[in-house]
Amino acid sequence: MSVTVSSPGVRSIYGSTRSPKLLGSLSWPGRVIMAVQSNVISVAPILTKLKKDCATPLPVLRHVADAMASDMRAGLAVEGGSDLKMILSYVDSLPTGNEKGLFYALDLGGTNFRVLRVQLGGKEERVIATEFEQVSIPPELMFGTSEELFDFIASGLAKFAEKEGGKFNLPDKQTREIGFTFSFPVQQTSVDSGILIKWTKGFAVSGTAGKDVVACLNEAMQRLGLDMRVSALVNDTVGTLAGARYWDDDVMVAVILGTGTNACYVERIDAIPKLQCHNSTFGRTIINTEWGAFSNGLPLTEFDREMDADSINPGEQIFEKTISGMYLGEIVRRVLLKMAQAGELFGDSISEKLLTPFMLRTPDVCAIQQDTSKDLEVVGSFLRDVVGVSSKLSARQIVVEVCDTIAKRGGRLAGAGIVGILEKMEMDSKGLIFGKRTVVAMDGGLYEHYPQYRTYLQEAVNELLGPEITKNIVIEHTKDGSGIGAALLAATNSKYGHNF
């Protein structure tokens, strides 16, 4: 479609250009724009429909929160009872601060693995010292055999352990114990064992699915003669909760908002009908919700549906696909591509880069929203250098508006999910959640680095709970909590107890 652009400018708080053709108000923090160019007008219906389909007014948030709580109950009642797996972690005792000794953590969740050691000094000294290293996994091992991968990991652990010294001290005749954070789908069978369901995140390792991943690692360490054992197998969300709980007894929920997303929380044993023959001296355990699979009543657009259909897991992980860092940039790209095709947003040619799936990343979307310059020069430079398109100011304003729309929906839905978890806990605990200080530990790059997303999340929590309850709910960033949390859970489940 060819469009003749006859009107050159915009009306804004920074100046005025008169024209009879007005798109209407485009707004985001600190800026209200009246865009007038004909190419802008041609994409107006797409933007209007996008905003309508992504809208998260209070009734939508309330439905999402209630549905989250309902699905949690269904998942606790019977295996496969809802989209939420509600996996038992077998972590019944959380760190108290009394833990002492030297413990290791291994975090395997992507193309790198991280090893960490921590010297714990009990109530008085707490964390005496920590050290960590990150090791890249060669691409060929992601498609190799189970033995090759775990031998490589064990070798990295051995090299790291060789550097132990200084403030790190292991008592004589003790085996080094590890908390193993394994961020792939696992059916946990005890606190120190779990069966791999399938590899994800680009891994296609043969010979591991259906096996105990702890046994795989322990056997690799034995082949090397490495005197170490795994005493706790944990999901990264569970590790985050444990790490935050070590410093703050009021932590009851942990959420990760990064490339992917998940949440876990402290649950009462008697509130888990599907649980049989599991005795807990503490009467509680941590439940890994796997909330990325939630899908009930989410406001979805044509772009979400197309992205889902094109994904490697269509029909699955719908909540994750609307709120996590892996997908926000791709949704924005698809919107901009349609605008470019339908309304010549960036001129009469379509950039090859804009046609490339996942070329637009969520950090790019965040950077676009941080541009406060008068003419959105940073946005213009990004569109030129990364997307390969030239842009007028009016087009750049629309790009910002699209980014804000997708981030706002994601943040507010994440906030509603958190409220759903809290409300489920509150209903079962008779006022013991909302009636006192309750902390939600947050980790992940999306939450940490995207201020608008964070703000939208908090706003949704405030709207749903109201000022009186909200003042007791603390959402607190816990950076890199899962690593030290895994080491702490190794200490909590140590075969030596705490008699150091």
Identify the band that residue 481 occupies on the pLDDT scale cut at 50, 70 and 90. Answer: confident
Residue 243 lies in a domain: no
Residue 490 lies in a domain: no
Residue 34 lies in a domain: yes
Polymer length of the chain: 500
pLDDT at 33 over 60: no
The mean per-residue pLDDT over the stretch 52-68 comes to 98
Confidence at residue 431, expressed as pLDDT on a 0 to 100 scale: 73
Confidence at residue 40, expressed as pLDDT on a 0 to 100 scale: 62
Residues 292, 427: one domain? Answer: yes
Show which of 234, 260, 286 is a domain's final residue: 234
Confidence at residue 343, expressed as pLDDT on a 0 to 100 scale: 78
The string of pLDDT tens digits covering residues 296-327 is 999 999 999 999 999 988 999 999 999 999 99
Q: Residue 357 in contact with residue 330, Cβ under 8 Å?
A: yes
Tokens 């990264």 -> residue: 236
Residues 455, 363: one domain? Answer: yes
Confidence at residue 188, expressed as pLDDT on a 0 to 100 scale: 87
Show which of 210, 234, 258 is a domain's final residue: 234
Show which of 234, 259, 280 is a domain's final residue: 234
Residues 221, 296: one domain? Answer: no
The mean per-residue pLDDT over the stretch 349-365 comes to 93
Residues 117, 218: one domain? Answer: yes
pLDDT at 13 over 70: no
pLDDT at 4 over 70: no
Residues 466, 359: one domain? Answer: yes
Residue 487 lies in a domain: no
Q: Round to whole Å and give the CA distance between 230 and 212.
A: 12
Residue 148 lies in a domain: yes
Residues 224, 132: one domain? Answer: yes
Q: How far is CA 83 from the centre of its chain?
A: 18
Q: Round to whole Å and give the CA distance between 109 and 167.
A: 28
Q: Which of 123-127, 143-147, 418-422, 423-427 has the lowest mean pLDDT?
A: 123-127
Confidence at residue 362, expressed as pLDDT on a 0 to 100 scale: 95
Residues 115, 74: one domain? Answer: no
Q: For 264-311, where are the alpha helices, taking DSSP H only?
A: 302-310
Share of the chain above pLDDT 90, in %: 66
Residues 289, 223: one domain? Answer: no
pLDDT at 438 over 50: yes
Q: Round to whole Å and give the CA distance between 69 and 357.
A: 34
Identify the band that residue 23 occupies on the pLDDT scale cut at 50, 70 and 90. Answer: very low
Residue 240 lies in a domain: no
The string of pLDDT tens digits covering residues 362-415 is 999 999 999 999 899 999 999 999 999 999 999 999 999 999 999 999 999 999
CATH number (domain holding residue 79): 3.40.367.20
Q: What is the span of the domain harbouring residue 471?
A: 1-87+248-479
Identify the band that residue 30 occupies on the pLDDT scale cut at 50, 70 and 90. Answer: very low
Residue 354 lies in a domain: yes
Residues 226, 309: one domain? Answer: no
Residues 54, 187: one domain? Answer: no
How many beta carbons lie within 10 A of that of residue 135, not counting itself?
A: 16
Confidence at residue 497, expressed as pLDDT on a 0 to 100 scale: 66
CATH number (domain holding residue 190): 3.30.420.40
Q: H or E stretch including 63?
A: helix 58-77
Q: Residue 310 in contact with residue 334, Cβ under 8 Å?
A: no
Residue 2 lies in a domain: yes
The mean per-residue pLDDT over the stretch 270-293 comes to 84
Q: Which of 16-20, 97-101, 246-250 has the lowest mean pLDDT?
A: 16-20
Identify the band that residue 156 occupies on the pLDDT scale cut at 50, 70 and 90. Answer: very high
Which positions are annotated as active-site residues?
Answer: 201, 236
Domain count, the chain: 2
Confidence at residue 136, expressed as pLDDT on a 0 to 100 scale: 92
State the pTM of this model: 0.86
Which DSSP symbol is given to 116? E
Confidence at residue 22, expressed as pLDDT on a 0 to 100 scale: 30
pLDDT at 127 over 70: yes
Residues 404, 435: one domain? Answer: yes
The string of pLDDT tens digits covering residues 447-474 is 999 999 999 999 999 999 999 999 999 9
Q: Round to whole Å and give the CA distance between 428 and 426.
A: 5
Confidence at residue 238, expressed as pLDDT on a 0 to 100 scale: 94
Residues 393, 422: one domain? Answer: yes
